[in-house]
Structure 1
Amino acid sequence: MPRKPRYLWLAEQLREPILNGEMPPGTRLPSRTSLARTHRVSEQISRTALRLLVTEGLVEARPGSGYFVRPVPEVFRLSRTDATSGSGLGRLSRERVSTEQERCTAPLSSRLRLRDGEPVYRTTSRGLACDRPVTLHRSWEPAVLTAGTLRTPFDAAGTGPLERLGAAGFPVDRVVEEVGVRALRDSEAALLGSAPGMPVLVVERTHYCGDRPVETSDLIGSAEQCRLLYKLSLARPRSHG
């Protein structure tokens, strides 16, 4: 069996006391030089081990101060069930940022089955915890569905899309979600107060009226803090008697 690289071995020596609570959040780790001397490895190995723990989210590097055990991030569970799940933001409060009309472009045109250039309404909102943004939500719907009525996102602010679209004659009867992970983009980072490039969870959700997509949205949140909670109802097995 191949021998384990020394930097992995050293990372294990540090990881275990962090995970079992012997080194609580805020604890300063020994310096690279001290680790190298204590564990009889090179400074390159101690540096690589510390960087691995940073990548795992257990340790943070503070320039000029060293490496410290990170606080355990608060986790938010976002319910992704059906109409009974409300906003789907769990304990987060919803803050509406803006509603605008814009021209549809790819890949949005594909999701809404529109031609490039057709008008859509875009609504941006955030999920907040103690006034701090945790999630970003952007939704788009074809303007042709509600233009000229009092059911547009501009006229019916505060009303959910299911209620608005149903009142406009487009009742939603099907929802499709696709979940993935990608890097946070610059424009999104500005709204979330986060650094571009960090991994985020993205839920692409599309509402349908029959076979017609009537609204699509992106729910974006830190992959470290956000969990998707699904509650699925299963048909009861028939009794044989």
Structure 2
Amino acid sequence: MPRHAPYLAVAEALRARILAGEWAIGERLPSRVRLAEEYRVGRNVLQRATDRLIIDGLLEGRAGSGTYVRVPRERLRLVRSRRGEHTGGGSPSVVGVTERGKADSWDAHSQVRVPAPEGIAERLAINPGDLCVRTHYEFLADGLPVQLSESWEPMAITDGTPVVLPEKGPLAGKGVVQRMRSIGVAVETVIELPRPARATRAQANLLGICLGDLVLQIERTIYDADGRPVETADMVIPDRRREVAYEFAVDRP
């Protein structure tokens, strides 16, 4: 029989003690030094064990304070479904993708004539320094922050049109598809690259979570019928508040 890694054995022992109620919800665990001595393991092993329980949602780390038993929170599912075009408000709308469990309100702030950084320029197939509209979104559900997004659109496509600002003008909040269609750009394809990550300090502050909490980062790029990128965005979704599921219809012969 294969042996479990030492940190997994410690994690399971701590999990059993937490579930048995040895430490109350919101209570701080003993120091990592003390727990490492108790289980006769190194501090790195104890660190990995507690990190595992943080990912599993049983513990939370508080910078400069310690590790606590996490208060249970409702974790809702966000379903991204390829079942026809979504025409609701806000930047989340994409070609052929609808969302269930989405945010019910959002704040947005746009900046115009922002030079594209190298990475964004590569994703948009433009030159670094080419001017873009950058829009930062904070999405809320039931008053809680559930998603961040930073969107970039090349001004070469929208400059001088009524839809240069995503959240102002005649199609404010209607999403990329409708806005681009109104200026003769047929949007056809979306590519999303989801990756797990840890919350930065800025993300944690905006989302009301802890530094280092698990988040899902989605890099999304939207293309027109000629394969030209018309928008790219980085979305950040806190794992403790949302789980993301992709749903696709099966093509029938």
The TM-score normalised by the length of structure 2 is 0.73
Q: What residue number does 2:155 align with?
A: 143
Give the superposition deviation at 1:128: 1.2
Q: Residue 251 of structure 2 aligns with which residue?
A: 235
**Within 5 A, what are the aligned runs for 1:5-20?**
9-16=9-16, 18=18
Of 100, 103, 117, 1:92 maps to 103
- What is the percentage of aligned positions where both structures have the same residue? 31
Map Cα deviations across residues 47-106 of structure 1 (whole Å, 9 max, x no partner).
958645531222346799986532233323223224248543724223123011111111
Higher RCO (CA 8 Å, separation ≥ 6 residues): 2
Q: Which amino acid aligns with 1:71?
A: V
The reply to whether residue 77 of structure 1 matches residue 89 of structure 2 is no
Give 1:177 shift: 0.9
Partner of 1:26: 25
SS of 2:177's equivalent in the other structure is helix
Aligned 1:9-158 pairs, distance under 5 A: 9-16=9-16, 18=18, 21-23=19-21, 26=25, 28=27, 31=30, 42-43=37-38, 45=40, 51-55=47-51, 56-57=53-54, 58-60=58-60, 68-82=68-82, 83-84=85-86, 86=88, 87=92, 88=99, 90-101=101-112, 102-153=114-165, 154-155=168-169, 156-158=171-173
Change over 3 Å in CA distance of 1:22–1:166 after alignment to 2? same
1:225 is the counterpart of 2:224: no
Q: Give the distance between the partners of 1:116 and 1:189, measured in 2 at CA.
A: 29
Task: Check whether the contact 1:166–1:172 (CA below 8 A) recurs between aligned residues.
Answer: yes
Distance 1:63 1:143 in 2: 41
Q: CA deviation at 1:133?
A: 1.4
- Could you tell me whether the CA contact under 8 Å between 1:60 and 1:67 is conserved in 2? yes
Deviation per CA, 1:186-227: give whole Å up to 9, x if none: 444443344554432111111111211111111101234332
Alpha-carbon deviation of 1:174? 0.9
> How many angstroms apart in 1 are the aligned matches of 2:6 and 2:202?
41
> What SS does the corresponding residue of 2:118 show, helix, strand or coil?
coil
Equivalent in the alignment of 2:95: none
Distance 1:204 1:25, change over 3 A: farther
Count of residue pairs brought into register by the alignment: 230
1:121 alignment partner AA: V
Q: 1:175 aligns with which of 187, 190, 204?
A: 190
Which entry has the higher C-alpha Rg, 1 or 2? 1
1:77–1:43 Cα change, 3 Å: same
For structure 1, the 5+ residue unaligned runs are: none
- Aligned mates of 1:212, 1:31 — CA distance in 2: 55
Query: What secondary structure sits across from 2:247 in the alignment?
Result: coil
29 and 47 in structure 1: CA distance in 2 versus 1, 3 angstrom threshold = farther
Whether contact under 8 Å (2:26, 2:71) holds in the other structure is no
Give 1:165's aligned amino acid. Answer: M
